[in-house]
């Protein structure tokens, strides 16, 4: 847990990925579910499901947030590699799920549009 503390201070996705280690490989074994349009950026539901064998960690990164690194989840053997949570998305942004499986990093990316004022535009 301590090792991750500094990650929350990083200001760009590149710096976050550098701190995580390798550049992740895009993978269709990760299903990232986010709303296409979020009328309320302060509560955006995200679900990440990894079918990669030996998934041990799931990281949530919001590209355009002031600090992109949002959350890290460690998945023990007994637990399915699937997590749902709600995060803040400051503005229209790519949401990146990074999965560590068998010691290697993989990713899935989806854009969520944030509409301000809640007028649904």
Residues that bind another protein (CB under 8 A): 1, 4-5, 7-8, 42-44, 47, 62, 65-67, 69-76, 78-80, 82-88
Which CB sits closer to another protein, 3 or 25?
3
Smallest distance, another protein to C-beta of residue 103, A? 18
Smallest distance, another protein to C-beta of residue 116, A? 15
Which CB sits closer to another protein, 25 or 46?
46
**Is the CB of residue 45 less than 8 Å from the CB of residue 119?**
no
Smallest distance, another protein to C-beta of residue 100, A? 13
Alpha-carbon distances, residue 49 vs 14, 55, 62, 81, 99 (angstroms): 23, 10, 17, 6, 9
Which CB sits closer to another protein, 25 or 53?
53
Distance CA 72, CA 58 (A): 6
Tokens 């809640």 identify what position?
A: 118
Distance CA 32, CA 28 (A): 10
């Amino acid at each position: 847990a301590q090792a991750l503390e500094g990650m929350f201070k990083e200001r760009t996705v590149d710096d976050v990925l550098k701190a995580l280690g390798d550049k992740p490989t895009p993978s269709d074994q990760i299903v990232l579910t986010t709303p296409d349009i979020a009328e309320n950026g302060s509560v955006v539901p995200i679900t990440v499901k990894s079918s990669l064998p030996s998934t041990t960690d799931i990281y949530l990164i919001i590209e355009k947030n002031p600090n992109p690194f949002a959350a890290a989840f460690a998945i023990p053997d007994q637990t399915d590699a699937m997590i749902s949570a709600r995060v803040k998305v400051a503005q229209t942004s790519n949401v990146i799920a990074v999965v560590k499986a068998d010691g290697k990093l993989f990713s899935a990316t989806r854009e969520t549009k944030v509409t301000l004022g809640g007028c649904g535009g």
